[in-house]
């Protein structure tokens, strides 16, 4: 059994002891000392620490526990482990490691702990430690009052004497020639003076007093006093009471704060903005650490220390306001910045600065004197023939300058414009957004600018100072569209919304505009278009129109044209035997062809002037660089139309590609549109830019949803069915996921961008396993029942078929459809089938629609996305989620369309705990852009970044 130095059953007392460490300065230790019968302390003592604290609890309280815990943090062994774990011993630490940064950190740590410990010792039994380690050598008391301090600077012809005067009660305390004097903590200073601990009424840095422990003053020679007076003495005058004599004077400055923003032209590419606060003629950096700032100024042989009393509240208020305006954090950091960025910031914020009482001062005008007067634009517009003339004058003070002179500056993003008198005007920030598009598309004339009438929507007149009335009222959002008579030969009754669509198509023709009829799938875009073409037939136009479509829709158009129109002559320009002579087109009213044929026959087709060129499923030209899109843009025609339920599938660039066909030049060049609209909207979520684009394209897109117009449609109920993996399926999935995740973790952003195709292949593999391992693990002995999703699908399919209902079954993976065919054949369930290789599409549609013994239709997601009317189905099963939710919506709308009388139930099968579940979340997060512009649906994969990709496989 260990020997106990202190018997806790007998009287003892807790004591605290001050001792000096060779390297760390003054420290405190905690002890218990056995008490003698006469009440005095014996020599028998023992260290008190958190581990043995409870043994002596009878004489200890909560404050003792707190002190003991704090003192334990100063244990030398613990500190060695904290600051130099590699040190082999305490001696090794102080010999090899206790220097530079480690020394500084250790001393700061000790001071912080001691600053917390010393005040807590006030009502404890406190001693200094003997050289032999006895903790109760000499009692120490705390002074009941705090000391005052004044620093003296007495200047003579030879030297300046510097010393502190410390007053405790009414007596002066001298630090030299004391029996014991030591610094317990540095900031705030607590000192041990003989047997008493003192501190100060105003916080004092202890290091300022240490030199006077050994001498009563410091002498400053004349040859070094200038540096001393300008660097060291101001610090003392700022913080403490000071007495000075011999040509040294202290003057207090108490003036209101005045704020200035100093603008310095560095060179043609850089500028600096420096915020300063003035008190009288003293210019200071704002946001001080202290309320007093001292500046030393020499006047002959004398020195004056100006003690500037600062208005900290006012400085803080101004800084907070400025930080709200700053683009790059605190304005104090803007010592050097790009010139155009600085001018942009000034253009936006000078009015706010002046309102805040901040004077903007240009210190260096090497690039020209800046004027902060806001340029104002006055615009007059008028239509002359096929052109829309824009004449604008810019007024800046006494100057009147044609707006066209600013074109190069706005196009290049240059904000500084030299005026006739040599001063520099800063162009307003809104010019670079409000006028950039106009200047991109306008033609320059001698007296102004000119644009085509259909480009007039780019005139954001609300942004102009005076503005002008629209001369093309048809482009106004409030424009009234005339009611047009329905052609007599139309063999259909148009629903009210279809009649409005027909009237809108007439409106486009009247103003020579191209447009997109973007109604939801199933609302009759084909019928509305045929109504217009029937009207053109009855007007005896005599020039054929070209309708371009996917190959799968040729039959649909033929069927609907024969059904709804009268006496319209149709040529199907497809197949190997098609005519290569464009003059043959003149004998027809409508030419039906495909996107592939246009690409192949463009040399022939571009020579024939059509009445209309109409693109069905116009998202087929969404890639502007594709040969198909390039060929389409070469076609010659009077009028242009596009039909699509999803005008934007992947990105706003889809919109540019279609508009470059419909209204060439409306949206500017491809690079301009990408930089000015796509990047700000899709990446930075710029609401203002999005609103501007939405207003711009408004006249050219008509979009109605089924919920808006087709009240007779039955409800559509969409559900997600979560499926759990089988044991074998999960094992395969986890192995592949782990390997793929490790691959991604080592990938940089640069590698991510360059390897997107291989990354997609990896994601595809995970998705396939989540559906059924057999889609990728062909060599393994796998059954259909080895997929949890398949088991849930079969269960729900049997339930639906038992009701006598019909169901559409979609998957993007043809291999999965092949597996389902074998299983349905084995179960003797009849079905229709359609994938990209199916030749007799309409035969399969008719089989499903008309044969009551065919309850199922297996369809590949892409092949069945357009051109199918499958209203016989009440149920839609989507077996795997696609990156693009628009494709899924198209699948559901094969059944939920005009003609459907039953409620449509849609089930999306999602494997729990797999990448599919995370794809659904991504779809929800990334879909906001769709309703903000037009009905935009996004391909989620194309917008994934590396972080989101990690989340998919986490």
Question: pLDDT per residue over 381-434, tens digit each?
Answer: 777 777 878 888 999 989 999 998 999 999 988 888 989 988 888 898 888 888
- What dihedral angle (degrees, nearest 10) is formed by the CA atoms of 657, 661, 665, 666? -80
pTM score, two decimals? 0.57
Range name among 146-160, 178-192, 368-382, 698-712 with the lowest pLDDT average: 698-712
Number of C-alpha atoms within 13 angstroms, CB side, residue 494? 24
782 vs 775: CA distance, rounded Å: 10
Q: Are 455 and 381 in contact (CB under 8 A)?
A: no
Q: Which residue in the block uniquely carries the two structure tokens 């020039």?
A: 543
The confidence band for 478, taking pLDDT boundaries of 50, 70 and 90, is: very low
184 vs 120: CA distance, rounded Å: 13
Strongest mean pLDDT among 491-505, 527-541, 926-940: 527-541
315 vs 312: CA distance, rounded Å: 5
Which residues pair with residue 262 across a beta bridge? 274, 361
Q: Taking CA 844 as the corner, what is the angle to CA 839 and CA 850, rounded to the nearest 5 degrees?
A: 155
Q: Are 145 and 168 in contact (CB under 8 A)?
A: yes
Range name among 499-508, 815-824, 834-843 with the lowest pLDDT average: 834-843
Please name the residue ranges forming H helices in 472-583.
496-510, 525-538, 554-564
* Among 389, 475, 382, residue whose Cα is nearest residue 438: 389
- What dihedral angle (degrees, nearest 10) is formed by the CA atoms of 882, 886, 887, 888? 70
**pLDDT score for 590:** 97
User: What six digits make up the tokens of 688?
Assistant: 């203002």
Residue 163 to residues 146, 215, 402, 789, Cα–Cα distance (Å): 19, 9, 72, 87
User: What six digits make up the tokens of 339?
Assistant: 């010139």
Which parts of 108-240 are beta strand (E)? 126-128, 138-139, 141-142, 148-155, 159-168, 171-173, 181-185, 190-193, 196-198, 218-221
929 vs 209: CA distance, rounded Å: 67
Give residue-wise pLDDT tens across range 702-727. 888 766 766 666 777 777 778 888 88
Average confidence score pLDDT of the chain: 84
Q: Are 809 and 894 in contact (CB under 8 A)?
A: no
In what helix (H) or strand (E) does residue 459 lie, and over which residues does it extend? none
Long-range contacts of 796-805 (CB under 8 A, 24+ apart): 796/721, 796/877, 796/907, 797/856, 797/877, 800/855, 800/875, 801/829, 801/855, 801/856, 804/855, 805/855, 805/874, 805/875
**pLDDT score for 551:** 84
- Could you count the other beta carbons within 10 Å of the beta carbon of residue 580? 8
* Among 140, 138, 120, 123, residue whose Cα is nearest residue 41: 138
166 vs 212: CA distance, rounded Å: 11
DSSP 293-356: EEEEEEETTEEEEEEEEP-HHHHHHHHHHHHHH-SSS-GGG-SSEEHHHHHHHHHHHHHHHHHT
Average pLDDT value for residue range 211-239: 90
Q: Taking CA 833 as the corner, what is the angle to CA 871 and CA 912, rounded to the nearest 5 degrees?
A: 85
What are the respective helix, strand and coil percentages of the chain, to the nearest 5? 40, 25, 35
**pLDDT score for 471:** 35
**pLDDT score for 934:** 54
**pLDDT score for 481:** 80
Average pLDDT value for residue range 745-764: 62
User: What six digits make up the tokens of 614?
Assistant: 């109409």
Give residue-wise pLDDT tens across range 873-897. 888 888 887 766 666 666 666 665 6
Residue 70 φ/ψ, nearest 5 degrees: -65, -45
Average pLDDT value for residue range 620-635: 93
**pLDDT score for 733:** 86
- Measure CA 116 to chain center: 43
**pLDDT score for 262:** 87
Please confirm whether the linkage preceding 188 is cis (ω < 30° from 0): yes
| pLDDT higher at 287 or 344 | 344
Give residue-wise pLDDT tens across range 458-475. 775 433 333 333 334 445
User: What six digits make up the tokens of 933?
Assistant: 């512009």
User: What six digits make up the tokens of 589?
Assistant: 């009213």
* Among 585, 591, 597, 701, residue whose Cα is nearest residue 934: 701
Q: For 418, left (φ over 0), alpha (ψ -120 to 50), or beta?
A: beta
- Measure CA 534 to chain center: 51
Classify the C-alpha dihedral 858-861-862-868 as positive or negative: positive
Provide the percentage of residues in the chain whose pLDDT is more than 90. Answer: 41
823 vs 496: CA distance, rounded Å: 46
Residue 189: partners with Cβ closer than 8 Å, 6 or more residues away: 183, 199, 200, 203, 204, 205, 206, 209
Which residues pair with residue 939 across a beta bridge? none
How many Å is the Cα radius of gyration of the chain? 43
Give residue-wise pLDDT tens across range 150-178. 999 999 999 999 999 999 988 999 999 88
**pLDDT score for 469:** 36
The confidence band for 372, taking pLDDT boundaries of 50, 70 and 90, is: confident
107 vs 181: CA distance, rounded Å: 19
The confidence band for 923, taking pLDDT boundaries of 50, 70 and 90, is: low
Residue 178 to residues 24, 175, 188, 195, Cα–Cα distance (Å): 22, 6, 22, 10
């Amino acid at each position: 059994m260990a020997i106990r130095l202190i018997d806790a059953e007998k009287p003892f007392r807790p004591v605290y002891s001050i001792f000096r460490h060779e390297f760390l300065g003054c420290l405190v230790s905690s002890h218990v000392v056995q008490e003698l019968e006469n009440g005095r302390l014996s020599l028998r003592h023992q260290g008190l620490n958190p581990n043995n604290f409870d043994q002596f609890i009878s004489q200890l309280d909560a404050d003792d526990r707190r002190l003991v815990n704090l003192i334990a943090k100063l244990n030398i062994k613990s500190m060695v482990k904290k600051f130099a774990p590699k040190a082999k011993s305490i001696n090794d630490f102080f010999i090899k490691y206790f220097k530079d940064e480690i020394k500084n950190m250790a001393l700061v740590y000790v001071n912080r702990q001691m600053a917390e410990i010393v005040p807590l010792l006030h009502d404890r039994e406190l001693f200094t430690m003997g050289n032999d380690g006895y903790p109760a050598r000499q009692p120490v008391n705390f002074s009941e009052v705090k000391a005052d301090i004044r620093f003296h600077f007495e200047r003579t012809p030879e030297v300046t004497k510097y010393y502190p005067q410390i007053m405790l009660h009414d007596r002066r305390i001298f630090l030299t020639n004391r029996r014991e004097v030591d610094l317990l903590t540095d900031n705030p200073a607590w000192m041990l003076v003989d047997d008493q601990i003192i501190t100060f009424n105003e916080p004092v840095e202890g290091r300022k007093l240490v030199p006077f422990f050994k001498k009563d003053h410091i002498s400053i020679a004349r040859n070094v006093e200038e540096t001393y007076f300008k660097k060291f003495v101001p610090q003392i005058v700022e913080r403490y009471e000071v007495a000075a004599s011999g040509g040294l004077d202290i003057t207090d400055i108490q003036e209101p704060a005045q704020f200035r923003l100093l603008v310095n032209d560095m060179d043609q590419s850089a500028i600096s903005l420096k915020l300063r606060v003035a008190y009288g003629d003293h210019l200071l950096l704002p946001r001080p650490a202290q309320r007093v700032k001292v500046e030393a100024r020499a006047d002959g042989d004398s020195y004056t220390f100006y003690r500037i009393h600062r208005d900290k509240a006012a400085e803080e208020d101004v800084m907070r306001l400025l930080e709200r305006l700053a683009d790059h954090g605190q304005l104090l950091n803007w010592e050097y910045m790009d010139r155009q960025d600085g001018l942009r910031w000034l253009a936006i914020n000078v009015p706010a600065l002046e309102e805040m009482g901040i004077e903007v001062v240009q210190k260096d005008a090497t690039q020209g004197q800046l004027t902060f007067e806001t340029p104002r634009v006055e615009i007059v517009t008028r239509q002359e023939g096929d052109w829309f003339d824009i004449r604008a004058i810019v007024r800046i003070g006494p100057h009147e300058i044609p707006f066209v002179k600013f074109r190069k500056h706005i196009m290049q993003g240059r904000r500084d414009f030299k005026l006739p008198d040599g001063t520099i005007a800063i162009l307003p920030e809104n010019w670079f957004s409000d006028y950039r598009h106009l200047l991109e598309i306008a033609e320059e004339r001698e007296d102004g600018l000119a644009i085509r009438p259909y480009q007039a929507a780019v005139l954001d007149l609300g942004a102009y100072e005076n503005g002008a009335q629209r001369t093309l009222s048809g482009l106004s959002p409030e424009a009234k569209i005339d009611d047009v008579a329905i052609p007599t030969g139309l063999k259909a009754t148009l629903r009210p919304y279809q009649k409005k669509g027909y009237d809108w198509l007439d409106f486009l023709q009247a103003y020579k505009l191209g447009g997109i009829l973007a109604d939801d799938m199933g609302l009759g875009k084909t019928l509305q278009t045929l109504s217009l073409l029937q009207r053109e037939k009855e007007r005896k136009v005599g020039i054929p129109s070209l309708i371009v479509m996917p190959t799968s829709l040729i039959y649909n158009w033929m069927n609907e044209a024969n059904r709804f129109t009268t006496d319209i002559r149709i040529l199907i320009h497809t197949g190997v035997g098609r005519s290569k002579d464009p003059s043959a087109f003149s004998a027809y009213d409508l030419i039906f062809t495909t996107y592939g044929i246009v690409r192949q026959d463009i040399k022939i087709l571009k020579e024939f002037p059509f009445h209309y060129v109409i693109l069905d499923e116009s998202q087929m030209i969404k890639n502007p660089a594709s040969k198909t899109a390039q060929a389409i843009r070469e076609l010659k025609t009077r009028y242009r139309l596009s039909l699509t339920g999803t005008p934007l599938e992947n990105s706003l660039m889809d919109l540019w590609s279609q508009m470059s066909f419909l209204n060439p030049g409306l949206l500017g060049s491809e690079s301009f549109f990408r930089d000015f609209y796509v990047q700000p909207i899709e990446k930075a979520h710029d609401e203002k830019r999005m609103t501007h684009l939405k207003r711009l394209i408004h006249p050219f897109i008509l979009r109605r949803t089924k919920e808006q117009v087709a009240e007779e449609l039955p409800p559509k109920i969409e559900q997600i069915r979560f499926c759990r993996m089988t044991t074998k399926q999960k094992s395969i999935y986890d192995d592949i996921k782990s390997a793929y995740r490790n691959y991604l973790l080592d990938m940089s952003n640069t590698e991510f961008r360059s390897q997107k195709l291989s990354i997609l292949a990896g994601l595809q593999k995970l998705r396939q396993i989540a559906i059924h391992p057999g889609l990728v693990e062909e060599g393994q002995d796998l059954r259909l029942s080895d997929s949890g999703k398949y088991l849930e699908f079969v269960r729900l399919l049997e339930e639906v078929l038992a009701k006598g209902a019909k169901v559409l079954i979609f998957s993007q993976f043809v291999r999965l459809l092949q597996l389902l065919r074998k299983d349905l054949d084995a179960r003797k369930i009849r079905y229709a089938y359609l994938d990209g290789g199916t030749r007799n599409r309409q035969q399969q549609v008719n089989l499903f629609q008309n044969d009551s013994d065919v309850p199922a239709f297996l369809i590949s997601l892409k092949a069945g996305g357009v051109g199918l009317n499958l209203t016989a189905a009440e149920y839609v099963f989507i077996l795997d989620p696609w990156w693009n939710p628009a494709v899924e919506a198209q699948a559901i709308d094969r059944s939920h369309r005009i003609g459907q009388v039953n409620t449509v139930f849609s089930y999306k099968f999602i494997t729990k705990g797999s990448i599919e579940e995370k794809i659904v979340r991504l779809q929800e997060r990334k879909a906001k852009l769709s309703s903000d512009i037009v009905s935009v649906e996004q391909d989620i994969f194309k917008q994934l970044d590396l972080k989101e990709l990690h989340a998919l496989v986490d």
